[in-house]
């Protein structure tokens, strides 16, 4: 039987004891969570003894047979975990695993873990034997397009709801690192008391770890306070704030500003626009100030420069990105808007 990681919990609740599980893949967090889920479920069923073996080139495969047949003084049900780097047990190991999967239930659960299994390995007899007797779980990496949804689901598991934009901001911050994404979710759960979380909550949680607040820096730039903006930018840099996280926060605020500017230019009343965007009184003054200072054409030019910063970040030029942040924020504050080098 073959399952996806998200199907495992339902399988464990509904099915009888399965004697063997094979969890493979290159994404460590999901793989570890699958193994933990299998192990904890069976412990609740009385599997009290646990043996762990790391398979190397010199591994003695007879140990597996002996471990499964030896009786314990404390329990007649045991869990054996077999950790293989690559799913290549060789002829001897393949034969042992095939015989193990064909045996009658003797109260032994075997959990095998390995790196990703290629198509040629899946054709081997020992793999087909495990597939027939047990469960095969292939863990696949979460791609950039799927990661925001994965983050939303994780938050939901913690009885929290997070908007797609907020989840996307976390995804950009962790750059596909699932353990880091999980840590961000845990931090949000601890710091944000309300059940529904948005982009501002995510950014404020980032800011809570620093002396300088990302929101305050952006607001300072909107107000045209150049000295304070530069002071806060340098403070954030010195405190180790990730440039990608700062850029995500800045872009969210800036895109919203551009939308407000175009609606205002079209003739809508500013107070009505603020109401529709749920702008707090504290931020109204900053947005009003920048709308008086910069035209839609100016804002478009700055948005093009943001694309230049995005290229810099993706190329890994962190120091250059900080310099570009400074240029952008000074331009937002009303300085040197005609000297932006857009690539």
Which is nearest to 109 in space by CA: 148, 129, 127, 82? Answer: 82
Output the tens digit of pLDDT for each of the chain's 343 residues: 899 888 898 898 887 778 899 999 888 888 888 999 999 999 888 888 888 888 888 888 888 877 766 655 555 788 999 988 888 888 888 888 988 888 877 788 899 999 888 888 888 999 999 999 899 999 988 888 889 999 999 999 889 999 998 898 888 777 677 877 887 888 788 778 888 988 888 877 765 555 667 778 888 999 999 999 999 899 888 888 888 878 887 888 888 899 999 999 998 899 999 888 777 777 889 999 999 999 999 898 898 898 899 899 888 898 999 999 999 999 999 886 555 665 5
CB within 8 Å of 319: residues ≥ 6 apart: none
Cα(108)–Cα(96) distance, rounded to whole angstroms?
A: 15
Per the structure block, which two tokens stand in for 92?
């001897």
Which is nearest to 218 in space by CA: 98, 103, 341, 302? Answer: 302
Q: What is the CATH number of domain 2-139?
A: 3.40.50.300
Query: What is each CA distance from 260 to 102, 156, 192, 303, in whole angstroms?
Result: 67, 31, 28, 14
Per the structure block, which two tokens stand in for 161?
């709801």
* 3-state class (DSSP) for residue 295: coil
Supply the pTM of this predicted model: 0.57
Q: What does the domain layout of the chain look like in residue ranges?
A: 2-139, 147-332
Cα(185)–Cα(158) distance, rounded to whole angstroms?
A: 9
Q: What is the CATH number of domain 147-332?
A: 1.20.272.10
CB within 8 Å of 318: residues ≥ 6 apart: 243
């Amino acid at each position: 039987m073959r399952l996806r990681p998200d199907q495992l919990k339902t399988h464990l609740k509904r099915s009888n004891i399965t004697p063997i599980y094979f969890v493979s893949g290159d994404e460590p967090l999901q793989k570890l969570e699958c193994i933990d889920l299998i192990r904890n479920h069976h412990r609740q069923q009385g599997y009290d003894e646990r043996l762990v073996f790391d398979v190397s080139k010199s591994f003695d495969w007879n140990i597996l047979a002996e471990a499964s047949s030896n009786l314990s003084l404390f329990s007649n049900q045991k869990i054996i975990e077999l950790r293989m780097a690559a799913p290549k047990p060789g002829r001897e190991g393949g034969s042992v695993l095939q015989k193990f999967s064909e045996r009658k239930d003797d109260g032994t659960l075997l959990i095998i873990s390995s790196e990703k299994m290629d198509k040629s390995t899946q054709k081997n007899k020992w793999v087909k034997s495990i597939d027939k007797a047990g469960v095969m779980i292939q863990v696949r990496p979460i791609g950039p397009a799927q990661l925001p949804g994965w983050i939303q689901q994780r938050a939901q598991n913690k009885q929290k709801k997070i908007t797609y934009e907020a989840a996307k901001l976390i995804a950009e911050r962790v750059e596909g690192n699932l353990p880091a994404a999980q840590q961000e979710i845990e931090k949000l759960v601890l710091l944000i008391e309300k059940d529904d979380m948005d982009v501002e909550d995510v950014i404020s949680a980032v800011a809570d770890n620093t002396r300088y607040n990302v929101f305050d820096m952006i607001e300072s730039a909107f107000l045209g306070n150049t000295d304070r903006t530069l002071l806060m930018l340098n403070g954030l840099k010195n405190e180790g704030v990730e440039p990608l996280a700062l850029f995500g926060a800045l872009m969210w605020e800036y895109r919203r500003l551009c939308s407000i500017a175009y609606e205002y230019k079209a003739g809508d009343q500013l107070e009505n626009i603020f109401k529709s965007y749920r702008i707090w009184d504290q931020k109204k003054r900053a947005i009003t100030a920048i709308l008086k200072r910069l035209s839609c054409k100016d804002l478009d030019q700055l948005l093009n420069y943001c694309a230049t910063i995005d290229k810099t970040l993706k190329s890994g030029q962190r120091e250059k990105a900080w310099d570009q942040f400074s240029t952008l924020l000074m331009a937002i504050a009303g300085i040197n808007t005609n000297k932006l080098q857009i690539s």
